Chain A
Amino acid sequence: MQAFLHQLLSGLANGAIYAAMALALVMIFKATHHVNFAQGELAMFSTYVSYTLIESGVPYWAAFAITLGFSFLTGVLLERLVMRRVQHAPALTAVIVYIGLLVALNGLAGWVFSHTLKVFPSPFSSDSWYATTYLSAHELGTIAVTLLVLGAVFSFFRFTRLGLAMRAAAENPQSSRLLGIRVGAMLALGWGMAATLGAVAGMMAAPIVFLEPNMMSGVLLYAFAAALLGGIDNPWGAPVGGFLVGVLENVAGAYLVGSHLKLALALLIIVIVLIFRPSGLFGRTVVVRV
């Protein structure tokens, strides 16, 4: 029972990381109807930036904040310079450009930072008072940080004029434009926020999976599964899907399929959701008029 509880709770910690990534995917999907295949590599690159800062003596939380700023700017710039051009392109073109971005970032990281595994520090030292047998300090910290960030994002969208404008721009670009909302700027802002969310997920994941250019591929796969499970057009569904998938991964990994098939489990979730319930648990069923 104790072991089961441990699996369950540390599943929640992994789920927190998936939740943040899934929300980033959903934000971009809502605004552009594209799936950002490069979300994981963006997060990885941000994590390298924070690693470089920490290595050069910047305190952890300062490096954390600088990295968030850097990620935001990178997201905005990528949208402005690259992604804007494929916004109305056919699915194949868009997918290839996203894959191009994934490969470019991965190659660049390998080129600049090398492929050797690096140990990334956790801000939550393992002998903290809040560390328990069920949840390590880092796991608890990850859940707390993620909930804080998710709360901030949801309050932003719910309670600020800018958040409202962003939601409007994603929901109905034409009408928003007529109301004087700068839809293009909102898109860029959305990309910036998604990249920032990814950076949080990356920095929380790095102490667990070690820092290397391919560190996020598994996380991204689970985030896909989480976003689809929650309904890819529902921002509330993403965190729920994230936590669900995290727990499912851990429990099934421990008792059903073994740790060797964890990625296959994500594939299974993705395929099952896509075939039997493409709109996910909380998504809207899209009816296309022909």
Chain B
Amino acid sequence: MTFTPPGSVGSTRSRLLAQLTSAQVLGAAALLAVFAAAPLFISGYHLFQLTQLVIYAVALLGLNLLTGYAGQVSLGHGAFYALGAYTTSIAMSHLGLPYWATPIFTGGVCFIAGYLFGKPAARLEGLYLALATFALAIAMPQFLKLDSLAKWTGGSTGVPVFKPSSPLAGVSDDQWLYFFTLIVAVALFAAAWNVVRGRTGRALLAMRDHPIAAAAMGVDVAATKAATFGISATLTGVAGGLGAILAGYISPDSFQIFLSIQLLVGGVIGGIASIFGTIFGAGFIQLVPNFANKLSDAAPWAIYGVLLIVCMMVMPAGVAGLARSARARILRARAARVARLAAAAQRPAA
């Protein structure tokens, strides 16, 4: 199977919509309306948190595509998030790129980096890939701290990142950044949805569940894995870039192994093979630390850890999986009721 890059998949609207049920369209529209209207009701720190939530959702989208759909375990997605953050910062302050163009530039750089890492890594089986990406995540801060790169990265002290100002009167800078993030996120979600629902998505699932059968059906397993790695790094990297703009400051210590683990937690809680589960997962990793921090600085991690273990045992498909099985149960109950009524209606006639 030839691989189709995300931009060109489903370039026609009708094809995108044809694959959605009306309930899904309504649900997505309602969700989008809620997100679009949110700045009317919240501001300040809460708006900051909501922006970060959207950014995490995009980052999780990248992780889910790779780990959930393609079955490639990554424990190092924080490294791609960091790469995106630094690429964006360098593009703005050294290459003079305007902020609105950075997602495209960052996405391109991260695609190449992800593809190059994925090319050899895709040959590794699940466990070994987990090991390699884990090592990448632990080593990443050391690369960022290198003295020879300090001109661009700011070394271990980090660098400030410019915050864009709003071009519209009546829209504050924070609100503008939120809308900008939301627009990028919606575009990326639509692209990911197309990748997953199209030929490529079916190739990914086939590859995950039975690589040999997938190869026999004509899927070029190695090339598809490497390209998925690239797309995944693109999504997470763009999220990292947006995160850098939002934070206004980046330093190597923000990108420790625990960032990767936080992303893993979000993916697992939301449902690792789910597109819309990412929003719930992002909400979880954005909000839970706020509450748990009141207990102790380290409490969120203790809670994350226990939740990861419990989640894998009780609901391995995450919240999205719970929703899916609840929906299946309702549909089954409805079908049973219809069948009962039909049987009751037929009886007197017979």
- Residues of A whose CB lies within 8 Å of any CB of B are 33-35, 37, 82, 85-86, 89-93, 95-97, 99-111, 115, 213, 217-218, 221, 224-225, 228, 260-264, 266-267, 270-271, 274-275, 278, 290
Interface residue stretch chosen among B93-101, B234-242, B293-301: B293-301
A100-B308, A105-B305 known; A270+B297 contact, CB < 8 A: no
Interface residue stretch chosen among B30-38, B136-144, B159-167, B277-285: B136-144
Q: Say if the beta carbon of B272 comes within 8 Å of chain A.
A: yes
Q: Give the residues from 295 to 331 in chain B that come closer than 8 angstroms, CB to CB, to chain A.
A: 295-309, 312-313, 316
Interface residue count on the B side (C-beta < 8 Å): 50
Complex CA–CA separation, A100 to B297 (angstroms): 18
Q: Is the CB of B212 within 8 A of A82?
A: no
Q: Is the CB of A35 within 8 A of B303?
A: no
Q: Is the CB of A111 within 8 A of B135?
A: no
6 A-B pairs with least C-beta separation: A104-B305, A110-B298, A107-B301, A100-B308, A107-B302, A91-B126
By secondary structure, the A interface counts as helix
20 interchain pairs, CB-CB under 8 A: A33-B127, A34-B127, A35-B131, A37-B134, A91-B73, A91-B130, A95-B73, A96-B312, A99-B264, A107-B300, A110-B296, A110-B302, A111-B296, A115-B297, A217-B257, A262-B142, A263-B142, A266-B135, A270-B132, A274-B124
By secondary structure, the B interface counts as helix
B287 → A minimal CB distance (Å): 17
Contacts of B175 in A (CB 8 A): none
B217 → A minimal CB distance (Å): 15
9 further interface pairs, Cβ-Cβ under 8 Å (given A97-B308, A217-B257): A37-B75, A91-B125, A92-B126, A103-B308, A104-B305, A108-B298, A228-B131, A261-B142, A274-B131
Q: Is the CB of B264 within 8 A of A110?
A: no
Contacts of B305 in A (CB 8 A): 100-108
Contacts of B212 in A (CB 8 A): 290
Complex CA–CA separation, A168 to B327 (angstroms): 47
| B134-160 interface bits toward A, Cβ cutoff 8 Å, 1 = contact, 0 = none | 111011001101110000000000000
Number of A-B contacts (CB under 8 A): 146
Q: Is the CB of B309 within 8 A of A97?
A: yes
B255 → A minimal CB distance (Å): 13
Contacts of A260 in B (CB 8 A): 142, 145-147
B209 → A minimal CB distance (Å): 10
Contacts of B71 in A (CB 8 A): 92
Q: Is the CB of B296 within 8 A of A221?
A: no
Q: Is the CB of A97 within 8 A of B127?
A: no
Which of A104, A225, A228 is packed against the most chain B CB atoms within 10 Å?
Answer: A104
A278: nearest chain-B partner, CB-CB: B128
Q: Is the CB of B139 within 8 A of A264?
A: yes
Complex CA–CA separation, A271 to B142 (angstroms): 17
Q: Is the CB of B125 within 8 A of A264?
A: no
A113 → B minimal CB distance (Å): 9
Q: Is the CB of B138 within 8 A of A107?
A: no
A115 → B minimal CB distance (Å): 7
Contacts of A271 in B (CB 8 A): 120, 132, 135
Complex CA–CA separation, A35 to B133 (angstroms): 13
Q: Is the CB of A221 within 8 A of B298?
A: no
